[in-house]
């Protein structure tokens, strides 16, 4: 009997063979070689060496718009004087215009000419080519048939004929570099980034122990990372994945910005642009923000609760390893040139229509895997929080970051099944031919919008609430105060969690949804301002009477307060319907959600990275580089997104691959100055993109020659600061008596700690304590 | 008239006013505290809340303040909702006796057109309205004037510098129209840029959109597709002409 290992080996070989065989299957009618071949009614199956085709009369490089007389001819083959027919040709030019001089040739279109019946008795023809008015690289492809002239009939008109091909290339007065395909650019950048990542990993491994830098040591080291169930290692993996995809999403954003830098640009076609904005959104939300949240949570939840690990370590490893494969699926379409082009919202019925790219199917499949991953990891965090809090830590003594993860995961649990169901419906519609969204069969396009936004709106809170948690920790610690209004902070987060589910309809104000529902969601949308307002004012009040220390994480937290407040204020414009009908789907919306998702979520993450890096790695980051990162990124970030508000009001529409400005001659959708602002945004975008590499450099520099970090460098109170930096492999804490173990939380407010609130009394009833189980067993 | 309609401009100015007030409070507070309550790194400062690692710190709260910034934002949003209500009601008014009355009865001897007029809030009211049809399709708009005569509504096509051949909808100033909309294939949404309004056209479903053409409406303006619909989404444009 075959051993399991052999079976796996054989299966792998079969899979590789199948994958190698697949590309040779011709699926598309136009084939690989494209338009050049389409005009050739070539006689005979194979080109013949004895026929020599030639194109004469072309210069080395052309002059703009000049006309050139070209002679196409051939020699050899079965042709000879006196045949009924002697030959034929087909000429294709990639640029410029081809025209004919006489009746022996005919024009198919401006790029293609061929012979006529009258020209069938020749071996040489002349045609005219008008050069383009700009610099281009021009390719000519000539096909000729050498004809023996036998009549149609049993022997066949073309039997014994031969054909051949010739190609000529020339350039304009100024030689131009061939424009790169944006997907090639993206692919190359992803490969370069992945290689840099691999080199960095190899270097980290080398630094670990320079003497043991060989394969025998590397394989177990790598295997350990790939099979580890340690919450810290999985947390690090989540971080590496999240930062990598933050970079990939950033590259896509930069390509989008190049396209939008000037009006009427043709750097990207609409088809390519559609794929870029779809994948930018999906990557940033699902492959960058969510893994980074899980990275923070994996690292910090057990440490903050005083636990040794998460409750379900193997489930944890599984949730992580679903992610890279989901990412591959989501990007599969891109590698075949047909990435998903539906927008991250994937509105029905477009998402199931013939027009949507094939990659959309894989994109849906990848997201189904991510739904599974998020669900599993959510179970894990909630279980850990329910049963593994250190002795003495009630629900209302959990650090606020843990609370934020609790709220985020409860929201995720209530919302993500709707998304999963929607995705499965889309997947089935596209693959099996079900009719959930087929209008002709009675499908309902609004069903998708409801399912998607029932998930989508809570989802944006899921990614921003953990940042609230981080900011609460950072501001309190930096101010050397206890966070102001701990309880109202918790209730505000829970309030956001509840409101999230009844506001989602504001994404559908112009969708034809029932007017009653629109009114209700408009009112509830206004309500979001209340809990977020409480949080912002509580943070500000935390600083009151404190003694703020300016560290990099403090700066990011203060920056977060500025940008998140601005994003919150611009959000208040949408529930006012008479404004929303104008602003909906405009750049005002783009500005708003980048203010809350970058200025809120990402700034929070940056703050968290600078705050917990010493704890996780045992090395300090450079403060100078940190401040430089903050200053450059904060300024360029605002320059990038602030002008988008104005563009939106002017009428710039999102998801349009280009835009036009109104000039004296032509009516466009935007005023003249919009062009200048777009260029400004693009330049700022690049500055923002590159400024973040200061942080990456800082991390690498810190790993190599950073100072050793103390256990509690910032003066925080929660349990993560009670263990060593970095924490020992099996997480334990330094107890008062000098030993290592699981700590007990003391509460400076003893009178409150001893009185369980109604919530914890109620929740306590739901949980069976260990003692009870033991008694039951006896 | 610019892209901003009077109804939009009124709301916008009011919201900007409140944004500036809220922003001034939050950022003034942040600015003050960032520079007032500071200390140097490593400086000995009083440990106000008795922070100690492994100990849940003393509560730092004040019920009156917390209630204050729960109630004040709540009052503000109640006010903003109230302020937005009338414009909202006008944007989504009923086709049965709303601000635009009923469909015009062309046989009525007293019929003189919509005679729409704008009040100080920018809200347009009309005596009656005309019905037209808009259909979205990948990737062009079709306008249908139904039974309206050419002086009220006209359609055609025109070649525009950048968009190529686009459909043109020509409507009369001072008249109000209700567009009944549908889509052949996927979801689209016409954005009448200088009317500040848009609504999805959904296949298999009828949606409606008010097009009140006031006397000072711009002569020529763009209609763009605002709901992503595939490859030629960004050039799925049309032109709105307001004639006398």
- Tens of pLDDT along chain B (244 residues)? 357 888 999 999 999 999 999 999 999 999 999 988 888 777 788 888 888 888 899 888 888 999 999 999 999 999 999 999 888 888 888 888 889 999 999 998 999 989 999 988 889 999 999 999 999 998 899 999 998 999 999 999 998 877 888 999 999 999 999 999 999 999 999 999 999 999 999 998 899 999 999 998 989 999 999 999 988 899 899 999 999 8
Compute the nearest-CA separation of B92 from chain A (Å).
Answer: 8
Beta-carbon separation of B191 and A653 below 8 A: yes
User: Residue A663 above 70 pLDDT?
Assistant: yes
Between CA A28 and CA A474 the distance in angstroms is 56
Work out the average pLDDT over A194-216: 83
Q: Between A51 and A36, whose confidence is greater? A: A51
Per-residue pLDDT at A23: 45
Active-site residue set of A: 280, 309, 344, 373-374, 457, 459, 461, 472, 506-507, 532, 535, 654
Least confident stretch, A240-244, A435-439, A664-668:
A664-668
Q: Between A154 and B203, whose confidence is greater? A: B203
Q: Which residues contact A137 (CB under 8 A, 6 or more apart)?
A: A94, A95, A169, A170, A171, A172, A176, A178
Q: Which residues of A touch B39 (CB under 8 A)?
A: 480, 547-549
Per-residue pLDDT at B170: 95
Per-residue pLDDT at A41: 59
Tell whether omega for the bond before A726 is within 30 degrees of 0, i.e. cis.
Answer: yes
Neighbours of A613 (CB within 10 A): 25
Confidence band, pLDDT 50/70/90 cuts, at residue A774 = very low
Highest mean pLDDT among A599-603, A659-663, A774-778, B84-88: A599-603
Q: Is residue A196 less than 8 Å (CB to CB) from chain B? A: no
* In chain A, residues 316-345 whose CB comes closer than 8 Å to chain B: 341-343, 345
Q: Is residue B218 less than 8 Å (CB to CB) from chain A? A: no
Q: Which residues of A touch B199 (CB under 8 A)?
A: 510, 512, 581
User: Residue A31 above 70 pLDDT?
Assistant: no
Between CA A622 and CA A619 the distance in angstroms is 10
Most A CBs within 10 A among B194, B234, B241, hence the mutation to make, goes to: B234
Q: Is residue A483 less than 8 Å (CB to CB) from chain B? A: yes
Residue A548 is classified by DSSP as B
Per-residue pLDDT at B208: 93
Q: Which residues contact A398 (CB under 8 A, 6 or more apart)?
A: A304, A305, A385, A389, A406
Confidence band, pLDDT 50/70/90 cuts, at residue A719 = very high
Compute the mean pLDDT over every residue in chain A, rounded to the nearest whole number: 86
Confidence band, pLDDT 50/70/90 cuts, at residue A707 = very high
| CA-based torsion, A33, A36, A37, A38: positive or negative | positive
pLDDT in tens, A428-479: 999 988 889 988 888 888 899 999 999 999 999 999 999 999 999 999 999 9
Per-residue pLDDT at A768: 60
Beta-carbon separation of A270 and B234 below 8 A: yes
Per-residue pLDDT at A624: 94
Confidence band, pLDDT 50/70/90 cuts, at residue A175 = low
Between CA A394 and CA A760 the distance in angstroms is 8
Beta-carbon separation of B66 and A439 below 8 A: no
Beta-carbon separation of A668 and B222 below 8 A: yes
Compute the nearest-CA separation of A473 from chain B (Å).
Answer: 12
Compute the nearest-CA separation of A709 from chain B (Å).
Answer: 15
Work out the average pLDDT over A700-711: 90
Q: Between A18 and A466, whose confidence is greater? A: A466
Q: What is the CA radius of gyration of chain B?
A: 26
pLDDT in tens, A75-95: 888 877 777 778 888 888 888
* In chain B, residues 125-184 whose CB comes closer than 8 Å to chain A: 138, 160-163
Contact predicate A100/A128, CB 8 Å: yes
DSSP, residue by residue, B157-187:
EEEETTTEEEEEEEEETT-EEEEEEEESSS-
User: Residue A22 above 90 pLDDT?
Assistant: no
Spell out a b/e string for A429-459, using b for 16 or more CB atoms within 10 Å of the CB, else e. Answer: bbeeebebbbbeeebbbbebbbbbbbbbbbb
Contact predicate A458/A285, CB 8 Å: no
Structure token pair of residue A296 = 């923070």
Least confident stretch, A77-81, A105-109, A552-556, A648-652:
A77-81
ipTM of predicted complex: 0.95
Work out the average pLDDT over A196-224: 84
Give the residue from chain B lying closest to A581, CA to CA. B197
Per-residue pLDDT at A504: 87
User: Residue A329 above 70 pLDDT?
Assistant: yes
Beta-carbon separation of A649 and B62 below 8 A: no
Beta-carbon separation of B191 and A585 below 8 A: yes
pLDDT in tens, A762-773: 777 776 655 554
User: Residue A35 above 60 pLDDT?
Assistant: no
Structure token pair of residue A120 = 């069938």
User: Residue A650 above 70 pLDDT?
Assistant: yes
Neighbours of A282 (CB within 10 A): 27
User: Residue A40 above 60 pLDDT?
Assistant: no
Please give the model's pTM, rounded to 2 decimal places: 0.81
User: Residue A369 above 80 pLDDT?
Assistant: yes
Q: Between A258 and B48, whose confidence is greater? A: A258
User: Residue A778 above 70 pLDDT?
Assistant: no
Least confident stretch, A149-158, A361-370, A616-625, B47-56:
A149-158
Contact predicate A727/A721, CB 8 Å: no
Instruction: Report the residue from A534, A536, A649 with minimal CB separation from B70.
Output: A534
Work out the average pLDDT over A59-69: 83
Q: 């969690």: which residue's tokens?
A: A497
Confidence band, pLDDT 50/70/90 cuts, at residue A777 = very low
Beta-carbon separation of B160 and A717 below 8 A: no
pLDDT in tens, A275-311: 999 999 999 999 999 999 999 999 999 999 999 899 9
Confidence band, pLDDT 50/70/90 cuts, at residue A344 = very high
Structure token pair of residue A487 = 């309880």
Confidence band, pLDDT 50/70/90 cuts, at residue A360 = very high
Confidence band, pLDDT 50/70/90 cuts, at residue A411 = very high
CA atoms in the 13 A half-sphere facing the CB of B212: 25
Per-residue pLDDT at A2: 57
Highest mean pLDDT among A29-33, A146-150, A509-513, B89-93: B89-93
How many pairs of residues across A and B have Cβ atoms under 8 Å apart?
304
């Amino acid at each position: 009997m075959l051993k399991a290992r052999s079976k796996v080996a054989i299966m792998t070989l079969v899979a590789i063979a199948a994958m190698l065989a697949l590309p040779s299957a011709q699926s598309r009618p136009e084939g690989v070689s494209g338009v050049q071949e389409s005009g050739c009614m070539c006689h005979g199956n194979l080109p013949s060496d004895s026929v020599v085709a030639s194109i004469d009369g072309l210069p080395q490089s052309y002059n703009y718009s000049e006309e050139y007389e070209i002679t196409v001819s051939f020699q050899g083959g079965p042709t000879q004087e006196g045949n009924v027919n002697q030959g034929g040709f087909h000429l294709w030019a990639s640029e410029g215009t081809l025209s004919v001089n006489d009746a022996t040739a005919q024009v198919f279109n401006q790029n293609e000419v061929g012979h006529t019946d009258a020209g069938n008795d020749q071996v040489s023809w002349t045609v005219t080519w008008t050069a383009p008015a700009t610099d281009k690289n021009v390719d000519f492809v000539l096909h000729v048939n050498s004809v023996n002239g036998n009549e149609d009939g049993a022997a066949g008109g073309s039997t014994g004929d031969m054909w051949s091909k010739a190609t000529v290339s020339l350039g304009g007065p100024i030689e131009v570099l061939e424009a790169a395909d944006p997907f090639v650019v993206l692919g190359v950048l992803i490969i370069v980034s992945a290689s840099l990542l691999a080199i960095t990993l190899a270097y980290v491994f080398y630094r670990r122990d320079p003497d043991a830098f060989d394969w025998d040591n590397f394989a177990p080291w790598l295997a350990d990372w790939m099979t580890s169930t340690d919450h810290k290692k999985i947390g690090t993996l989540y971080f590496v994945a999240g930062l990598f995809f933050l970079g990939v999403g950033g590259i896509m954003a930069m390509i989008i910005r190049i396209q939008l830098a000037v009006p009427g640009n043709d750097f990207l076609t609409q088809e390519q642009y559609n794929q870029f904005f779809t994948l930018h959104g999906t990557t940033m939300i699902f492959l960058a923000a969510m893994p980074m949240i899980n990275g923070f949570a994996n690292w910090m939840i057990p440490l903050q609760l005083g636990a040794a690990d998460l409750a379900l370590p193997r489930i944890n490893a599984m949730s992580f390893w679903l992610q890279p494969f989901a990412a591959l699926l989501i990007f599969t379409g891109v590698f075949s040139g047909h990435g998903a082009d539906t927008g991250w919202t994937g509105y029905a019925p477009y998402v199931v229509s013939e027009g949507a790219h094939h990659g959309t199917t894989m994109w849906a499949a990848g997201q189904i895997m991510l739904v599974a991953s998020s669900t599993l990891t959510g179970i894990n965090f909630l279980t850990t929080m329910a049963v593994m809090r250190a002795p003495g830590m009630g629900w209302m003594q959990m650090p606020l970051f843990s609370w934020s993860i609790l709220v985020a995961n409860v929201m995720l649990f209530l919302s993500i099944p709707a998304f999963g169901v929607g995705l499965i419906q889309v997947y089935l519609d596209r693959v099996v031919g079900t009719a959930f969204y087929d209008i002709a069969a009675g499908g309902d396009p609004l069903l998708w919008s409801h399912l998607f936004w029932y998930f989508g709106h809570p989802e944006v809170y899921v990614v921003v609430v953990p940042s609230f948690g981080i900011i609460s920790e950072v501001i309190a610690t930096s101010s050397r105060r206890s966070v102001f209004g701990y309880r109202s902070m918790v209730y505000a987060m829970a309030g956001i969690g509840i409101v999230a589910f009844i506001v989602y309809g504001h994404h559908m104000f112009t969708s034809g949804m029932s007017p009653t529902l629109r009114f209700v969601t408009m009112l509830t949308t206004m309500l979001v301002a209340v809990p977020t307002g409480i949080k912002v004012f509580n943070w500000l009040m935390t600083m009151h009477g404190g003694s703020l220390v300016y560290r990099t994480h403090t700066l990011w937290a203060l920056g977060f307060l500025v940008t998140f407040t601005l994003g919150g204020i611009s959000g208040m414009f949408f529930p006012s319907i008479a404004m929303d009908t104008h602003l909906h789907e405009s750049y005002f919306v783009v500005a708003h959600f980048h203010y809350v998702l970058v200025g809120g979520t990402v700034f929070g993450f940056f703050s968290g990275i600078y705050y917990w890096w010493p704890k996780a790695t045992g090395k300090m980051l450079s403060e100078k580089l940190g401040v430089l990162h903050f200053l450059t990124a904060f300024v360029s970030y605002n320059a990038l997104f602030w002008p988008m508000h104005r563009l939106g009001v002017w009428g710039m529409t999102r998801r349009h691959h280009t835009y036009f400005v109104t000039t004296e001659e032509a009516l466009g959708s935007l005023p003249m100055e919009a062009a200048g602002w777009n260029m400004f945004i693009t330049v700022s975008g690049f500055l923002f993109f590159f400024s973040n590499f200061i942080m990456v450099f800082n991390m690498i520099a810190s790993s190599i020659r950073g100072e050793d970090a103390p256990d509690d460098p910032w003066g925080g109170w929660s349990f993560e600061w009670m263990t060593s930096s970095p924490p020992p492999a099996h997480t334990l804490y330094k107890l008062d008596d000098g030993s290592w173990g699981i700590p007990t939380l003391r509460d400076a407010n003893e009178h409150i700690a001893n009185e369980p609130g109604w919530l914890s009394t109620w929740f306590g009833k739901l949980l069976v304590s260990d003692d009870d189980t033991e008694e039951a067993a006896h | 008239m610019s892209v901003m309609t009077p109804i939009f401009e009124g709301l916008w100015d009011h919201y900007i006013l409140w944004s500036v007030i809220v922003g001034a409070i939050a950022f003034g507070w942040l600015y003050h505290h960032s520079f007032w309550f500071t200390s140097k790194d490593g400086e000995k400062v009083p440990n106000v809340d008795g922070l100690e690692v492994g100990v849940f710190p003393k509560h730092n709260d004040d019920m009156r303040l917390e209630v204050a910034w729960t109630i004040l934002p709540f009052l503000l949003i109640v006010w903003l909702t109230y302020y937005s209500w009338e414009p909202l009601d006008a944007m989504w008014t009923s086709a049965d006796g709303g601000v635009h009355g009923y469909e015009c009865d062309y046989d009525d001897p007293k019929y003189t057109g919509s005679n729409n007029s704008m009040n100080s809030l920018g809200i347009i009211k009309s005596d009656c309205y005309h019905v037209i049809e808009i259909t979205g399709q990948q990737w062009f708009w079709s306008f249908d004037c139904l039974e309206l005569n050419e002086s009220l509504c006209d359609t055609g096509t025109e070649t525009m510098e950048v968009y190529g051949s686009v459909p043109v909808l020509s409507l009369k100033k001072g008249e109000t129209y209700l567009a009944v909309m549908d889509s052949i294939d996927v979801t689209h949404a016409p954005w009448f840029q200088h009317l500040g309004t848009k609504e999805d056209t959904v296949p298999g479903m009828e949606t409606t959109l008010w097009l009140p053409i006031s006397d000072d409406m711009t002569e020529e303006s763009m209609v763009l597709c605002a709901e992503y619909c595939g490859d030629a989404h960004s050039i799925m444009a049309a032109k709105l002409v307001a004639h006398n």
